[in-house]
Amino acid sequence: MSGVPFLKMNGLGNQIIVVDMRGRTDRVTSAAAIAINGTAGTKFDQIMAIRDPRTPGTANYIEIINSDGSLAQACGNGMRCVVQTLTVEQGTQRFTFETMAGLLFGEQQADGMIAVDTGIPKLAWYDIPLAEEFADTRKIELQVGPINAPALHSPSVASMGNPHATFWVHDDVWNYALDRFGPLLENHPIFPERANISLAQVTAPDKIILRTWERGAGLTDACGTAACAAVVNGARTRRTARAATVTLPGGDLRVEWRDDDHVVLTGPAELEWTGMLDPVNGAWLRDRASA
């Protein structure tokens, strides 16, 4: 079939498709994304489309597409997959990318882990954004359940290029029906651009257990930007240090909110197999010689 090369990858279980759209003017359509996700073999959380650079000094422009066909501003796990892909292809280990969220920096480390500088978090209500003013976004008025006994309440909110709400829980994060209330909170009117919804349990000043309902994708084994937001929100509410290991269903990520306010996310990326796909209708074929 005619089409473009793609790689089926995962970043700590977060299902990623990396598509080579360099040299092309078309894009992976929303219909194609939905069709690709509708097939058991290619279900994904995000498509990372590698495009020609738009800004001098950057390696590539990365377009990020959710499984529902909508565009995403950022995806930390997906960016690690892009870094690994281009490191293997080019032998280069450090990259500057442009996304809807701005410039991002990635590096393949000597131990095989991949570090992505996701930038400076936005903490003002109008930058996240929220639909109404909150002077302090460390704790906003939002709850799930009865007014006098809510199951969840008062999340910390931040933007890592995309909106995040972190609900703090004292018990097991698996005790909550995130699949039921996740989509309701994602689409709550307080979030005009929708939001990623996370449950966070702090077990030590440098350890967080996290589950996330990902905007435009649903329940996920790992969400890198949610892990970043959890550490940022944990540090500014004095629940955690500025560096922590975040344990997600897919495994561990390391997050550091540096003194220069940049947030660095470190973790693995894994190639599963390769193929070709049609960016218009989503038809695809797996390479016979693929891993």
Closest by CA to 160, choosing from 49, 78, 75, is: 75
- Is residue 66 a contact partner of residue 46, using CB atoms and an 8 Å limit? yes
Check if 81 is active-site.
no
The tokens describing 87, both together, are 């490191």
Check if 223 is active-site.
yes
Which DSSP letter does residue 69 get? S
What is the Cα–Cα distance from 86 to 263, expressed in whole angstroms?
22
- Is residue 181 a contact partner of residue 220, using CB atoms and an 8 Å limit? no
Closest by CA to 80, choosing from 19, 12, 140, is: 12
Q: State the catalytic residue, choosing from 35, 72, 75, 263.
A: 75
Q: State the catalytic residue, choosing from 9, 178, 223, 228.
A: 223
3-state secondary structure at position 81: helix
Omega before 279 cis (within 30°)? no
- Is residue 210 a contact partner of residue 198, using CB atoms and an 8 Å limit? yes
The tokens describing 7, both together, are 């790689």
What is the Cα–Cα distance from 129 to 161, expressed in whole angstroms?
10
Q: Which residues are catalytic?
A: 75, 223
